[in-house]
Amino acid sequence: MTVVRIGISGWRYAPWRGKFYPDGLRQRDELAYAASKFSTVEINGTFYSLQRPESFAAWHDAVPDDFVFAVKGARYITHMLKLRNVEKPLANFFAQGVLALKAKLGPVLWQLPPNFIFNPDKLSGFFDLLPRTTKQALALARRHDDKVSKNGTFLKIDADRPIRHALEIRHDSFRSAEFIRLLRRHDIALVVADTVEWPLLMDATSDFVYVRLHGSRQLYASGYGPKALDRWADRIHGWTAGCEAEGDHAGGPARRRSRDVYVYFDNDAKVRAPFDALNLIKRLI
């Protein structure tokens, strides 16, 4: 059975209050409200800085049992270090409390900066460091430095589960069959990213597809009308059926297999994201 999850990137936005969130809803209750409408949300605060372990535990407890969080990888790793010498920062990332999400931990998103040019050796070295199970993530997290609290309360797991990873690109040098082969060899999902400026590639490279809809006319702002949502719904149906999605491909045909699909709307600037997500869900029911 394939799984399709439609959600939003982040949930704490002041302009959403009184529009998506009901008037008078406490900020602390916004995640629970979003989780009543969607089956997944991207945690994007982890991109900007390490979070408190208690926050992950609170997020876990605020959502239903069948809810899943995607977690965005640290920009310190992708944008500042550009994947060089990242063993310790990667340990810190998983030690900050990510494992407290338990069964609600979904894919980890790694977004490369626009000036990051395709480098197969650098990417392959990074992929080799990524933990593929929570047990591997725990072993890595225990090698953290003093940027993360030494309190071991959250450095534990309740079960060994797989961890999926997805990579978002923002440079044309990635329009390469070699890049697609590299992702498939390492079982990393290519993020299907709908943006104004950067490549929109449809290559399926793992057993799941990760879609980020940023707004194809105005980055982070433009919405998706009925025709656009119909088109994305058709693509989702195709991926779950094991078909190729129509659009631009950099590599050869993907192996035919049914795939899970995660979709996140990131066009939040004009309060379009939650309503576009709801309208896409209606098309898939």
Would you state the pLDDT for residue 154? Answer: 76
Nearest partner of 285 among 229, 245, 246, 247, judged by Cα: 229
3-state secondary structure of 117: coil
pLDDT in tens, the chain (285 residues): 899 999 999 999 999 999 999 999 999 999 999 999 999 999 999 999 999 999 999 999 999 999 999 999 999 999 999 999 999 999 999 999 999 999 999 999 999 999 999 999 999 999 999 999 999 999 999 999 999 987 667 799 999 999 999 999 999 999 999 999 999 999 999 999 998 788 999 999 999 999 999 987 777 668 899 999 999 999 999 999 999 999 999 999 999 999 999 999 998 777 899 999 999 999 998
Q: Which amino acid is at 213?
A: L
3-state secondary structure of 239: helix
Q: Which amino acid is at 117?
A: I
Sequence ranges of the domains in the chain: 4-284
Asked if 67 contacts 39 with a C-beta cutoff of 8 angstroms, the reply is yes
CATH H superfamily, domain 4-284:
Protein of unknown function UPF0759 (3.20.20.410)
Nearest partner of 96 among 119, 72, 113, judged by Cα: 72
The position carrying tokens 């979070």 is 51
Per the structure block, which two tokens stand in for 84?
A: 């060089």
Asked if 9 contacts 265 with a C-beta cutoff of 8 angstroms, the reply is yes
Would you state the pLDDT for residue 221? Answer: 67
Q: Transcribe 223-238 into DSSP letters.
A: ---HHHHHHHHHHHHH
Nearest partner of 234 among 196, 206, 202, judged by Cα: 202
The alpha carbons of the chain give a radius of gyration, in whole angstroms, of 18
Packed helices 30-37 and 53-62: angle between N→C axes, nearest 10 degrees? 50
